[in-house]
Chain A
């Protein structure tokens, strides 16, 4: 009964948030609408971080790498070849997935802090390459004047902040829906099992490296697609959009929201990015300090994240132990001596 109420409650909150996001551009000004669009893109990267960190159990600081690959692929494509949104999203997702696939050999057998360090290094390498490959990326100046996108062939270009925001919202919601569906499949179940006990999963006959590689590539594709949304939202990108601070903020947001929940990660990442942008104006120079304090407080007070706060099953939710098997273990006693 309680679980039912929680499920309905969460569904209701999600519906309210979605309605709020849909009506937002009619309520707030254009500047805030543009900020919201950018936040949605980053929140989608947060979902890819949650997929790796919370669902697959591989903490990462490198999702800005496929995010950047997707963004630059989309920017180059948009400037030179096609302004069709669906093509840009597909190409950006492909670029993110390809970059993630390239890094798979580095992370497939590593775990924990080692993955964090490797992914951090990959992210920094990508930013360095972006800064130096001037002919394609525009170097540290970035790429500006990227043409506005049209969602499909034959549709008008999205000329206003409001239209671009709604496009971003539709694409982000579609991709989040796809991730939620993925998690309900066999692959999602196996990823969660691997997070719990990888050795056990292997002993059951599952190909863990294949599963880990698949998760990396899928997360890379999502981050890449998010990169195309950033291009639509800003129409300008530079290596500064993909630096370490963005990686750290995303991981922070996912931890705050609840690593094991896609919804929580989405909200957590969005809140942290929005808080950073808001604090930047209110407390110039002190935003990182406030975010750091927020992180410490959250980890200390809500170790499972905001999403799981007060939703942990109570002992009474667990059916009683079978009557002929006591819940409290008796002492098994010493092994008998060899009988003579």
Chain B
């Protein structure tokens, strides 16, 4: 079966430092894939490469059977690679609804293309249910800059879903959330449509094991191990890597 995402031999160097040294990663449709590893392992760099924010010096990124290596973040988003950032990235002066509308616009198809404003109306129709699903209906008309951190995170998930993603990149989505908010986040991520593949970068291993069906471990820019959560949990190699990384 052809993978949805196939990154091969990805190399990113910053001067003499190899952030990624020939990493391979494949993700299939609907897969929940987690990337873990100590700080500096290259997780976020790999996410950046897949999202198009960082261009690798070597390697290929194939998405949906097409080489997307030369495409920027906008073109990749239009092809279905959407991202949730480590710090919630929302449009602070726009209302929650407007945020979702903006995110939905590139991938909505208006019912009547010739009607002015049809695309925006279609995006508006998409925003309401998504805000409802994320528990943000009561703050739909509040500027995003006035929302609490956890609400902004939920809004960003709504925005990512509004773009009809085929692959959702989650960069430490639990960062800065309270225990209650993390619980809510897990519920929301578990409820994501199965058609959406997820690549999760997360330090909280309880969250990784709760959500992922495949885990890849990076260390020093290289793939150290890959397998199911159970395999990774019991891998002495991985435990050693974490012990070294924490130390």
Contacts and interface: CB of A to CB of B under 8 A. Distances in A.
Contacts of A203: 51, 53, 73-74, 77, 82-83, 85, 89
B205 A336 contact: yes
Interface residues of B, number: 60
Contact of A200 (B91, B105, B151, B181): B91
A189 B124 CA distance: 12
A332 interface: yes
Nearest to B88: A200
Contacts of B105: 186, 190, 204, 206
Contacts, number: 138
A313 B148 contact: no
A135 interface: no
Given A318-B142, A325-B150, A192 B180 contact: no
A204 to B, nearest CB: 5
B141 to A, nearest CB: 9
Given A186-B120, A321-B151, A332-B179, A204 B239 contact: no
A285 interface: no
Contacts of A260: 93
Contact of A322 (B102, B106, B151): B151
A319 interface: yes
A4 interface: no
Most buried by A among B103, B151, B184: B103
- At the interface, is chain A mostly helix, strand, loop or mixed? loop
B125 interface: no
Interface in A184-215: 185-186, 189-190, 192-193, 195-197, 199-208
Interface in A156-202: 185-186, 189-190, 192-193, 195-197, 199-202
Contact of A208 (B53, B74, B179): B74
Contacts of B182: 332
B174 interface: yes
A324 B205 contact: no
Contacts of A193: 91, 94, 98-99, 102
B128 to A, nearest CB: 16
B237 to A, nearest CB: 12
Report the contact-size class of chain A (Cβ under 8 Å from the partner): 35 or more
Nearest to A318: B146
B203 interface: yes
A326 to B, nearest CB: 6
B78 interface: yes
A327 interface: yes
Interface in A300-334: 313, 318-319, 321-322, 324-327, 329-333
16 contacts: A185-B117, A186-B119, A189-B98, A201-B91, A203-B77, A204-B82, A204-B102, A204-B105, A207-B74, A324-B180, A325-B151, A325-B178, A326-B178, A329-B181, A332-B176, A339-B209
